Structures are given as structure tokens and as C-alpha cells.
Structure 1
């Protein structure tokens, strides 16, 4: 090919062009029907070839390789789609190659191979950083060639990063942080990050990934350590009996804290039993490099940490599921900080680890990186958008629509660990109905089978004598049954041997002889959900033995997969190696996705009418297309754990998946609560009350936990404010059902997000965007959970740009200010955005108890307001065929006109006529959320356009 000098070329059709800059060999590229492929002879990062393919005007698929050809590997998270249907142009000159759509431009530097993304107005969105490290580092896993894959990008001024799954460190904005994307009980890794600068990145990689600051953690000895007596080189560990913690029996020098896994238990001194010990660590920390050090703390048992006598951590977590936290330590050059830590281990096997991430070096300041253990090449989707909703819509364009869950799933669910018999479960439901506590779903947790037969998917007849009749009895009371199904199989009964014979099971846990914690302990393993035949067999088993009896929904537990808790990650990978798809290192994070896929596709094939509903403990990009929600795992019943769920749920929602929930009240319980009396009992009641208030305003409303029992009548008597408050918020949830179900419907129809980080609606208000303890529930309700014991006040920040109304009394407040709000026991601070339309319905005992023939619509004036009321048949898939209706409500502040649009669409059972009771709230005339108050206007709506002038 001849070398030519070109200033600009626009391609029409297919062409190949090689450009020359001052006589050097430069990039050649091909335009195809789907995009362009660029050959890079001089890339800084080792990339030889880049492919850009528009998926839509706002989504560009980027792949890169060091080989002559791209890997043919199919994506698990992305949907297959036809290429070549997105209009684009290509422009080239001596310095760059640019692909343009109507919304985006992607520029490849011909000198470096680095990429720059801009919007249609040429505003910079994202720029790749020049770093000396290779983007693709050759690796081999299980004999298959692979790469460690990485990309580094510049971070703009005041840029913030959200999403990335669900994490428990209480962080909202991940700027300058290391985020580990790895499936683990309470931690969910989703490789989708969203920026406040108008874009997101979906990183199409199934392996364990780091995001943000991707450097390795260093041992504690990376700092200069001093003992309690100021001797350099270590800190002082003191060991005592927990019955007399001040009586130190012996000390030793410690420069590393790394009792992180079962395999590390030998590091604890054998001269004292762990279950009897109380351990203190004292000394000083120093460094010649000043700046922010991020200390990563792993813990089980009680842990307290002080820096210069300031308490920075006070946590507890059960040993079988340790917690983690990030502690910020800002050091001045060569200036000591006093360090003190107290640890009471949880039983005979417990965990404590402490590592540090030094300040970010100059070369990596203001960067954001992604790095995965294994992949065939660089593979990601750049998604632009004018706001976060558009970016999330782009994510779902790639990975699939968020399938609409059944309406009953929006009601209240009761669960506990666990209902041991049929009578226990039915008695709980009867108690709810007798007490008139609204309820839609009861959950049957694990071990309803015979003890040795985990995986049989059969009820133990000694405890569940007639499952079909039990389920019918529930259905007669308008209660659904969700049941726990694990991907686990014990060795020694027919199903195990059948799956084993067909090669459907992972073998290593069996070979290693590990046993579980049930009874005498049983040899067990998990099935390989990457194998399509194994998935089909798993569903067939569920169908024949459970679904045929009338089960309504699935609780897919331990889907990380958690074959054996508290083993190092490398051992966990060994236990699921090999997968049908390939090395477990390459596919480690994707198990929950393919597991849900098999159940969703199996049930939809079996029953083409009723909506599938899955609750899973782990998740991955694309999960929303399989009618699956996630919950936050086996968190502890502690105030700090409750607070962590706020940012955990918001960032999960910002990861593109609209349905999330948690164990209201926390799962694991300190011993002081198990048979609580006096002050402990009152704290337990208040903790559950505050958590219940919070839980009423997340996408799925669900109580669950270990003993003590979590039914509200078991937490407190009817006369107690805890009972009264929980009943109030349960009833309020049902009153808000028209609002909530419309949010759910719009999550499918409009790619909406229900639990909204404040960056979504207030991107210019940086204070609001980075709050880790508040969020919007839908477009209107600002939720401020109370997460401190005996709190009488709570700081509430009202985002700027509009006013806010107190939900309970209608009092008006200007935005952009922080309030010190009184927090009575029975109420949580909730504010309504000025310019809101809030539709509410009748009091209900279950979601479909009565037709919503009368709606009370609260109009919060002061700004223009809109709301789209979505309705359908509630439990089937006819909405996918267009069987739904929308009524658009619009309020115009300048004219005071409220308009109800002509109803669009229809469905079977749609009400031909209904009453809209309009209650008007203004800054001068505040009104609370009283459903019995006299309406300002009563409108009879028959599907035709209506309007009313509000006074």
C-alpha cells in the first residue's frame, strides 16, 4: 500500500487507509458496516488493534487486542445484537482518527493509540491516560492463554464515580478509592461505573476486577511502626482473657496483621485460646510520605480503632461472615500518630486483617482505572448521556431491559431464619391477617428438606406434611410463597449422583473432603451453572419438585458461589474450576448471572403467563433481564451496618439494576440481643424500628434475620411505639402503591431507576451528590434514615434548586440548606420535592385486595410537576405486548393548571371510570399526608383529558 498524506477523509462504504506523519509508518484502518478497525503500529500500551462499533448514537463498543484478529468470544453480560444499523461517520487527519455518531465522537490518537470521548457539542467526556504499563499482560489460566486487562483514564475536576455493584464501606463517591469487584457474601461486583460528567463505562469482563485506584494494598509494615514503648519496628500486641481484659498475660511484637482466612488461623498465638482472648494493639504510625493513607480493615468479633485517641471504628461482625471497612488516616511527614485497637474475636475461629494503601503517586493522581485478572482483550462499552438516567438506559440497551416484577413483589414480605415447620409458617401468616398487618409474601428459608439431602428440592414430610395444601392455604389468604433454592448438592443421594454422572457438578470440594456446618457435616458441592445442560437440569428439578406445587418465587441463595466460607480467593477459584465456559479465574464473577438465566428461561418456557421473580444474594451486569433482584447479604444487626446499606443500595441501583432489598433489622445478631432484656431489648426494638422505616422506601420491602424472630408482633407489643411505627410505615407503603408500581413500570418502559442517588436529579449540587446517608425514592421523596441509637435530631441536607415540603405536616423549606431535624421515635424525616405529584391509593391488606377506583393525588406546588401513572394487569407478561396504560399528570406553576391526559393504552380489567381526589399543598398552605382530609377537588376521570385550575 502506498503511503499518502491526508488532512481529512470521510468514509462512505468500506475502505482501508494508511496515513503518514513525517514519513513514519502510521495507523491503518478499515471501515466496516458495524464500525471501524484501527491498526496501531506504535501504541504506548501494547495494543495493536482497536475496534469501535456504535450500538446506538450514545453507546460505543470498544475492543482492543495485541493480536492480528479479535477474539470471537461471546459476551455473557451483553445481548447479541445485529451490527450495522447505526449511522456514523469517520474523519481522519495526520494526528487522529475520529468515529462520530449523532451524539458522540471517539478519537484515536495516531501517535499513541489513546482514546478521547466527546459529546456532540465537542465537550470532553473522557480521555485515556498515557501510562507505561501494558494494557494486556499475557497470562495462562488452567492451560488457556489469557491477559490481565487494564485501562487508565483521566479524571476531570470535581468528577465523581458511582455504581460498581454493592459494597459495605459506606462510600457514595468512589473517586480516589480502590473498589474490589468480587462476588462475596454482602459484596456484589458489577463492572459498570457511572460518572457525573455525562457517561458510564460497562467493562465487559467476567473475572475479578479492581476499579478506581488499582494499586496493591501494602502490609501494615509499609508504615514506620513504633511499639507502645516507642521502639521502632513494630506495634505491641497484648493478650488477655476477655473476662479480665486489663490484665495483660503476655505481649508480642507485631508488624503484620493478616488473619484473613481459615488458612491463617495458625497466626494467632497458641498460648491462649482465641475464643477466650481479648487483644489490644498499641503503638505509633509514621511515614516520610505525607498524605492520605487508606487502611483496609477486615474483622470478625468486636473491633475498636483509635487514631490519636479519636475513635474511628466501632464494629461487630459474626465470624462466619467477616466485615470490612476503610479507615482514612492522614499523615504529616515524619509525624507520629498514636494507634490503638481492641479486638474481641468471635469464637474459636475469627479474623483480623489490616493493610494500607499509601497516598496516590503523582503519576496516578486524578485517574480512574479498571483492571481485571483475565480476559481475551480489552472489551468495554462507552455510554454517553445528558443525565444519569440516559446513561443507565444505555447500559440496559446493551444488557437488556429490566423485566417487570409482579405487583405483589412491591408489597411487604415477611421472612425469618427460619420457619422450621409448615405450622410455624402458616401460623405466622394467620397472625398477620388477624392483626391486619399488610402482607403479600412469606419466605421459606433453607433446610425444609431432610437434613442430608441438600439439593433434593423436596420437603421433609415430617415437618412439611402437605406442601401443596400449605401453598393453597397461603394463596387462599392472598399470600405468595417464595422458597430458598441453593445451587448446592450433598453427596449421597439420587440427585447428586445423577448430576455427577452427567458432569454437571464441580468436583474439587468433594475431592478435598470438606464438609458443611449442618448436623454431622456433609460432603457437598455446587452445580456448574455455566453449562446450559446443567442449567436445564437444575430448572427441571425445581419445576418437578417445587414449581409444580404452586411456588410463586425463588430465593437463590449463596450464588457467589459460596461453596465454603472464609477460604482465600484462590481456593474459592479452585473449587469452581474448571467451569463449562473455561477457567474459573476468567469467569469467576458471572456465576449469579448464568444461574438466574437458567431459572428465568426455564420458568418462562414452562409458564408463559405468570411473571418470574428471583431474589439472589449475588448479581452481575445483565441480571435485570432475568427478573432478578438482589439483597445485601448476611449483614449484621448493628447501627453502622444499617447506615452502610444506604450507599450500598444506591450504588447498586446506579449499577443499572432497579430492584434491591436488604434484611430489615440486619441478619446476624449479637448475643446480647438473643434473649434481650432491659436496655438491650429497647435498643433492639429501636434498631428494628429505624431499619423498618428505611426499608419501607427501598424498591423491595422485606424483613429477614436470625433469631430473635422478626415479625413486628415478636419485636414489640401493640402498645409499644416500635410496633406502632412499623405498622404505620407498612400501611404507608401500601397507600403509596400507585406511585411505587408506576416507578416499577417505568423501570421497564422508560429505563427508570427507583432508588435514586442524589447525583441523578441534582448533578450540579456536589454536596447532595456525595451524601452517603440520603437518597430519592422515585422523583419526589427525599429519604433520610435515622441510623443512630436514641437519636433526637438528624442533620438533613435539602438539595438546592427548589423547595421541599415535610411529608408529615406539609411545612415548606428552601433548598440548599442543612436542617437539624427532630427525629421522634415513630417517624423518619421524609421530604417531598417542590413540584411533585404524588398519587396514593386506598388502605390495603395486600396489593390486589381492591381496585384503585379512587386515588388521592397530592400536588406539591411551587414548580412545574409531572408524573406518569403506569398500570397493567400486575402479574403476567401482557405488558410486553402493549397491554398497559399510562395517564400523564401535569401541573404548570405559572397557570396553576393541573392536567390529566387522555389515557393511552389499555389492558384487561382496566377501570373505565375512577375518582381523582386532588389535595393541593403550597408554601403558604402546608398540608400533611392525611388520606382522610377533605380534597380540594374531586375529578371523575373516564379516560378523557381533564384539567382543573388549582387555587
Structure 2
């Protein structure tokens, strides 16, 4: 795919050789308007350009110099302009562009842009708050600019999207969101508003959104020790009790152990292993109001302010995660503070910083601030609803493909199958137990210890990898394999890339060693280089794809060249890139890396749908057959709860395929250090049961993690309710395959979203704006994950203006209220929206085991309903050529009739005749979900429309 080239104003002097009436300088273009600012102040743009992309998408560009940079967009595709009959007019000091959907105004003197709907309602207005839009910055040998753009917004507006962030926030209003790629943070610079518009911020560098003021160290507050002594908190560093050493106590004004480089800041002679640290005393601010705190942390950490516990979490020592919390502080008042930290490892990370209350004049402002760029570029995307906004994003950045049908089944994974026999034994066991399975995953380190990047199996553990792949296929399963963009110094693949100058060399020059064995020096290839991408595909094609590997797991694609290194060092480790400085392109590595694999496989085998699972994301990633998982997360109920809003915001960012490690990746010592106590074992089983229940209704259904092993039969025996619940939901997923695969088709053909935040379907219900732990799975199913230990009830909200059926027993109740739903160990609360049609297929062991010759339609009355059944050839790209079929199914409440409409389209191997069995559920007539339920009506269908009345 070609990348859009931004207009280059090579003849700008000629372009502005005339003045418009009134002294204003502007030029009407064929697709917009170009404005030259009259008296730009330092840091202001010299030119602002508006381009009409479609009736609902406007591009805004600005430059501080005489020419727009010709630098291409990596996110936005070329030639995305749609047909539009827009009109231009001049109204005094204002230039106006009108489309069918929007009115856009730009100040002829200021360049400030405002967006209105077709009825004149203000949607969004630029407001740079008197700050510089462009600040010069030197990046090595390059000159560039820091960028900032602010907007005035409504006081009740909510904001979503921006990728995957695991702080537990659903609505970002009032917070700062850090758009920096990191293990468990996936950056997509597409913001979505509850007012049905989006902003695609077309910049590849590290960016902040929201309240973009820099976080301040604690030392900016007045700090007092627990003895009231001013100057800092009382810090106590207690040693492992076994050492018998006296704790170290000192006064500290900052808590900053965030990166590897900060480990030397601990007190001399202090060992983290087995230690416990506390900071105690008082905080005093010079402002009154809500103070927001940001804490990257690993290990066990608790924070109290005014004796209120604000944070209590655990994260694996080697992989810190970010938390945010807030506390009201009063000017001049001392607030008690206590923090307790058990690092839970020999190296661990912790920092704490804060933001003072948002100034009154900025309460209704948001901003983007980026580290580097030669121009400012963003797209305003409007929609009648949030599906329309997501559709506009995909219009700009590319359609998301229909994933292969097998990808929508269950994935079993483990860190890691250490031998060929281990992997094959799992596939055999699933088939023996008749537990549905479509995919098995080979994680990292299948190579010899010193051969990372070779993509070659260690023959002592994998004596016949070709035979292994064949046996997996013989069991009607697929296999995905982990490949990293990482190469050990000196191996053959390293030498091939190095000879062509396609490797980042800083880590080589610094001789940085990883954590494997004795430690090996490594680096990553430059994915921004076209030849680098081609060579990487050639490598995995020759070594793995030709062997029959079905899917690609792209780990560490942030890129994570050195985990927990400072951000400045991370940029140095990938500097320079083929396109320019790492500062300018830091967030886009994952996009280019996966572009090479997607284009490589499609070029090698155009008939085989690409499937990539990658640990990061960026704008446009969806066009490369890629899904994202939420990274190396912790195995706790608290962490599970954070996954839900993370995945929902990811979906609102326009990327439809997302998954999480069911059960969490890394576990606490009580689970993996020797035999589990009975209490720990039952907690482990409950955690996995609840996570499997939730994972059933994420776009991709996949279990993965470190020891203990994650296969259901390794979690609990068959007679245990954990085992029974996990298998129940697995089979429910497969029964729902006609529904799920239809949703997958709608992603491509209708720009649909599978995992849907409630604001997408119930945006007029203000109660849903902040709900981040419930969601719709497709148009019909309300999913309410249980993420509290020992819970048997789940408080949830039933959205207003519709009724809701309990999926399990069919009972009905009206929406618009909070309820306390039953949530026994074995079941997660699931509801069906009134006016829904749910298609259930046959019991399957894998997604394509047999065609759905009989489909049971559960019709939930009370309102009209519709559903479109989608089918295609399952594994190829013929759907792009029109080879697919849809069957419209409708229910008319007034007439009590169900209609199976005329089939549209066809494809090779299409099932031409089938039976629909209708089970009719009504508000006054509950019916439980039973796959063998006696139908209320049966329809023999051969492609022509058929209707019947239901009793």
C-alpha cells in the first residue's frame, strides 16, 4: 500500500503573490484552503491548511516554515479522499468550508480551526492557551520541533481510545495519558469523544494527551518526615530479616527508582531482595483541589493519604506497570502520607510524581503534545455514532481484514513448550478430552541458547519440527510461533543484516547483555528500512513459513531492545532509523515491522490469510492482519480488572482484534514456588476460572502464561467446578461461532467493532460514560466480568431504553438501573439485549469441523430485531473479490414474524441448504439457553426469503 504524500509547497512564494480583499492571505485549493498567517508570533505556524478528505473527515496541517515537510505519513494511506461536494465561503475574518456533514471555520488571521455539525452545533475548537505550537529542538544532526495543540471541549464530554493503557481508566477526562510504547502499553494516537468525533493525531513520536503539563517530583510539594521535620519524608529501608541488619533511615524528597539506571540510587549496601521500604510523613501543597499521582511500580506497593488506602497492587519485579490515583489536598494543610514497598525481587522499580489541580481556565481544555515533528498534522473524524467515527479512522488508515475462521477459536499457549513432545502432547490431550481447540502456540526459546534470531529449532529438543507441524495439522489445529526482531551478535542472520547496515548498533557498541544463560549481546533490525523488512520476511519464510507455520507472534515489538532502560536510552538504542531520528519515529516501529511480515506473506502466498499477534500497536496496524495482546501482565484479580477498560479503549481506537493472557502472565510466589497450599491452589483456580469466563468474550480467545501450566486439565481435575466452568464457556464460544464469525465479517465489510464499550451502543445514556468493566460482545450480548476474589454477586448497570434477558434462564427485566446480579463461581452474568437474534451452531471440536447445517436462532422479542449471518471461504482473501455470502434475518415485533431473507452473494463450497430452528423468548415467556431445546418453529432454507409467524 502506498503512503499518502503531504502537499509540498515548493512554489509558496508564487502561491501567495496576491492578497485577498481585506488584506487576508489565503488560497482556495481543489480540496480545501491554505492560509498564510498575517503576523505569526514565535512558535506559531506560518501556514495552516485544511483539506476535505470526505464529508465527515477534515485534515488540518500546519507548518512553522515556508514549506510543508514532504515527510510521508506512516499511519494514513494515500488517496483516501472520497467524493464530496464541499463549498467554500469567506465571512469577514473567517473562512468557512461546508460539507454534507460538517461546517469547518478557520480564522484568516489566526489560523485557529473550529468544527461544527451540519446544524451549526459546535463540536470542537482549537485553543492553544497562549502556548507555542512549535518549539525548535535539535535531534542529533536534525532540526525539528516539539509540537503542542490544545482544544476547547464541553464540560461533560468524555474521551476514549488512544490504544491500550492499563491504569484502570475508561474515561480519560482530567488525566494525562502517556503515549509511549512499552510492554503492556500499546499506542494508537486516535482519540474518540462521547460527542461522536475523533482526532487522529498523525505523529510518530512520544506524545502526551489530556493535561499535558509535566508531572512534578514530590520535592515540589512541601514534605515533612513522620517527626514533622521539614525537607522530606522519613524513608526506612529494612533489610531481609535473615540478615539481622539494622534498617537504614534517611529523609528523602523524591522517590525515583523507575529505570535500570536508577538502581544505583538506593542506599549504599542495601539489597532489595527480601527488603521492605516505607516512606512516611506529611504532604503540603500550595494549591487546593484534586491532585493526581502517577506511579510506575513493581513488587508489592501500598499508598495511603490521610489514612485512606489509594493503591494496593502487585506487579512482577522485572516488569513495572503504571498506576494512577488522586487525592484532594488543601493549600497549607499537612496531609498524612505513607507508602510501603516490598520489591519482591533483586531488581525492582518504583517512582512517584504528581500533578497539581488543573487551573480553572484549563478545566475544559485538552491537548496533544509531541516530542518531535516537522509539521503538525491531525484529522478530525465525525460520525453519526461511534461506529461511524471508527469507520472514518479505518477509511484513513485501512480496513481490518476478516481474520481466518480458525483464529476465532480457542488458542492454547504456555511460556513455553520446551520440547516438541510437550507441544504435541497438549494437542493430543485436548482431542482426547474432546475440548475444543483450534490453535497451539510455540513461544520463544525453541532455538539453541546462543542462537536467538536464527529462527532455527534446537534439534535436541525439537528433533523433527516439520513433523511436529504436520502432526498439529493432522489433529486439525494450527500453530503459531514466536519470532522477535532481535538478533544475537555474531550469528549468521546477524551477519547478513549487519553487512547491509540494517541493525541498530548502540546496544552492540555498549555490549549490553540480556538475561539468558551467561548473557548475550543483541540488537534489533531497523524495520523502517524497506530492505530490512524484506530480509526479515525472507528469513522467517525460509526457516518457518515453508515448514507450514500458520501464524506469527511478534514479541517485543515496541521495540524492547533493553527492558526498563530509561526512555532517553531506549531512543538511543534505536537511533538512527532509516527514516530519521528515533525521537521522531519512536512509536511507529511496530507498524513497520508488521507491515513487512504482512506484505511478505501476501506476496509469497496470496491465498493464505495473514495472522499476526503483536505486543504493541500503532495507528494503521489493523490493515496488516495483526492483533494485539496486552503484554506481560500480572496474575491477580486486580490486574484482570484493569484489562477490561484497556481492551475497550483499544477497540475504540479502531483496532478490532485484541486479547489478553487468560490467567495473567506472571505469578506471585505462592503459586509457583514449590507445592501450592490448598488455599493458594483454590485461589489460582478461581482466578483462572473468572479470567477464562471473561476471555471467552474478547475478540480473540487465548490462554497463556508462565508456570503453573495453563491448560484446563492442569488447572483443575474434571470433577472440579473450575474445570467444568472453563469447558462450559469454551463450548459456548464454539456454539456461538455463527455469531462470532459474522461479527468478524462485519469488521471488514461494515467497519464494525466486536468488543464494544457501552458508550458505543448507549451513548445517550449518560450513566455509561465511565463504565469500563462491562461491554457488549457484538450487538446483542452484555458481558459483565467478575474480577473480585470470592465474589458470588456482581453489581452492574443495565443500560436504559431497552430490556434485558438473562442468557442462562431467559428471564427479562427493564434497563436503566443498577442491579446485583448472581455471579456463582461457575457463571459470569450475561444478558441479551431486547430485540436480538442470537444464532447458535453445532457442537464443534474446531471451527471448521463441520458446516452449520442446522442453526438455532434464539429470538429475543420485545422490540424489532435483525442479524446478518456472514460466511466466506474461511482462510483466503477471496472475500476481497466479492466471494462471500450474507443472509439477513429479521424479527418484526408487531407482527410476531421472523424472516430469513434472500441470500446475497456466493462463494466456492457454500452451503446452499440448511435448517433454521427458532426458539422464541419473550418478556413474559422466559426460556433457558439449551442447545437441544425444542424449537418453536423450523425453517428449511435454500436461499430464498422465508417468513413465519411465531406464537
- When normalised by structure 2's length, the TM-score is 0.97
Distance 1:802 1:113 in 2: 45
Aligned pair partner of 1:659 in 657, 660, 665: 657
Note the alpha carbon deviations across 1:21-78, whole angstroms, 9 max, x for none.
Answer: 5xxx4x3211222322111113566111111111111111111112222111111111
Query: Could you say which residue in structure 2 is the equivalent of 1:906?
Result: 906
Distance 1:431 1:192 in 2: 43
Query: Could you say which residue in structure 1 is the equivalent of 2:584?
Result: 586
Aligned pair partner of 1:32 in 24, 29, 32: 29
The alpha carbon displacement at 1:224 in A equals 2.1
Matching of residues 462-477 of structure 1 within 5 Å: 462-477=460-475
Query: Could you say which residue in structure 1 is the equivalent of 2:77?
Result: 79
SS at match of 2:283: strand
Query: Could you say which residue in structure 2 is the equivalent of 1:324?
Result: 322
The alpha carbon displacement at 1:82 in A equals 6.4
Change beyond 3 A, Cα 1:847–1:260 = same
Residue 393 (structure 1) aligned with residue 391 (structure 2):
yes
Query: Could you say which residue in structure 2 is the equivalent of 1:839?
Result: 839
Query: Could you say which residue in structure 1 is the equivalent of 2:949?
Result: 949
Contact 2:640 2:787 in 1 (8 A): yes
Distance 1:643 1:676 in 2: 24
Query: Could you say which residue in structure 2 is the equivalent of 1:777?
Result: 777
Distance 2:492 2:16 in 1: 61
Matching of residues 737-886 of structure 1 within 5 Å: 737-886=737-886
Distance 1:753 1:265 in 2: 43
Distance 2:240 2:492 in 1: 48
Contact 1:414 1:443 in 2 (8 A): yes
Distance 2:195 2:584 in 1: 31
Change beyond 3 A, Cα 1:85–1:802 = closer
Change beyond 3 A, Cα 1:441–1:231 = same
Distance 2:718 2:128 in 1: 64
Note the alpha carbon deviations across 1:276-330, whole angstroms, 9 max, x for none.
Answer: 3111111122223111111111211111112222222111111221111001111
Query: Could you say which residue in structure 2 is the equivalent of 1:9?
Result: none
SS at match of 1:403: coil
SS at match of 1:409: helix
Aligned structure 1 segments of 4 or more residues deviating by more than 6 angstroms:
14-17, 244-248
Further displaced range: 269-278 or 169-178? 269-278
Query: Could you say which residue in structure 1 is the equivalent of 2:7?
Result: none
Distance 2:482 2:515 in 1: 18
The alpha carbon displacement at 1:272 in A equals 2.7
The alpha carbon displacement at 1:83 in A equals 5.4
Residue 536 (structure 1) aligned with residue 534 (structure 2):
yes
Further displaced range: 406-415 or 61-70? 61-70
SS at match of 2:148: strand
Query: Could you say which residue in structure 2 is the equivalent of 1:602?
Result: 600
Contact 1:457 1:542 in 2 (8 A): yes
Query: Could you say which residue in structure 2 is the equivalent of 1:377?
Result: 375
SS at match of 1:264: helix
SS at match of 1:397: helix
Note the alpha carbon deviations across 1:670-728, whole angstroms, 9 max, x for none.
Answer: 11111322111110110000000000000000000001100010000001110000000
Note the alpha carbon deviations across 1:439-484, whole angstroms, 9 max, x for none.
Answer: 0000000011111111111111111111111111110100100000
Query: Could you say which residue in structure 1 is the equivalent of 2:279?
Result: 281
Unaligned runs of 5+ in 1: 1-13
Query: Could you say which residue in structure 2 is the equivalent of 1:41?
Result: 38
Change beyond 3 A, Cα 1:130–1:584 = closer
Change beyond 3 A, Cα 1:335–1:894 = farther
SS at match of 1:904: coil
Distance 1:223 1:920 in 2: 64
Aligned pair partner of 2:557 in 549, 556, 559: 559
Aligned pair partner of 1:192 in 190, 193, 208: 190
Residue 715 (structure 1) aligned with residue 727 (structure 2):
no
Further displaced range: 765-774 or 253-262? 765-774
SS at match of 2:192: strand
Query: Could you say which residue in structure 1 is the equivalent of 2:687?
Result: 687
Contact 1:118 1:124 in 2 (8 A): yes
Unaligned runs of 5+ in 2: 1-14
The alpha carbon displacement at 1:150 in A equals 1.2
Change beyond 3 A, Cα 1:431–1:84 = closer
SS at match of 2:828: coil
The alpha carbon displacement at 1:17 in A equals 7.0
Query: Could you say which residue in structure 2 is the equivalent of 1:207?
Result: 205
Query: Could you say which residue in structure 1 is the equivalent of 2:638?
Result: 640
Distance 2:841 2:328 in 1: 52
Distance 1:878 1:772 in 2: 37
Matching of residues 220-619 of structure 1 within 5 Å: 220-243=218-241, 249-619=247-617
Query: Could you say which residue in structure 2 is the equivalent of 1:95?
Result: 93
SS at match of 2:273: helix
Q: How many residues get paired?
A: 934
The alpha carbon displacement at 1:742 in A equals 0.5
The alpha carbon displacement at 1:331 in A equals 1.4
Aligned pair partner of 1:120 in 93, 110, 118: 118
Contact 1:16 1:31 in 2 (8 A): no
Distance 2:615 2:411 in 1: 16
Distance 1:412 1:904 in 2: 30
Residue 53 (structure 1) aligned with residue 48 (structure 2):
no
Further displaced range: 262-271 or 743-752? 262-271
SS at match of 1:722: helix
Contact 1:636 1:669 in 2 (8 A): yes
Note the alpha carbon deviations across 1:84-123, whole angstroms, 9 max, x for none.
Answer: 8532211102120011221112100124221100111111
Contact 1:33 1:84 in 2 (8 A): no
Query: Could you say which residue in structure 2 is the equivalent of 1:3?
Result: none
Contact 1:34 1:84 in 2 (8 A): no
Distance 2:110 2:660 in 1: 46
Query: Could you say which residue in structure 2 is the equivalent of 1:162?
Result: 160
SS at match of 2:203: coil
Distance 1:84 1:459 in 2: 49
Distance 2:91 2:307 in 1: 61
Further displaced range: 318-327 or 334-343? 334-343
Contact 2:80 2:395 in 1 (8 A): no
Change beyond 3 A, Cα 1:503–1:247 = closer
Contact 2:103 2:116 in 1 (8 A): yes
The alpha carbon displacement at 1:130 in A equals 4.3
The alpha carbon displacement at 1:761 in A equals 0.5
Distance 2:263 2:792 in 1: 43
The alpha carbon displacement at 1:243 in A equals 3.7
Contact 1:16 1:30 in 2 (8 A): no
Note the alpha carbon deviations across 1:598-619, whole angstroms, 9 max, x for none.
Answer: 0000000100101010000011
Distance 2:80 2:663 in 1: 47
Further displaced range: 922-931 or 248-257? 248-257
Change beyond 3 A, Cα 1:341–1:245 = farther
Distance 1:83 1:229 in 2: 66
Aligned pair partner of 2:176 in 175, 178, 183: 178
Contact 1:15 1:31 in 2 (8 A): no
Contact 1:190 1:619 in 2 (8 A): yes
SS at match of 2:430: helix
Query: Could you say which residue in structure 1 is the equivalent of 2:727?
Result: 727
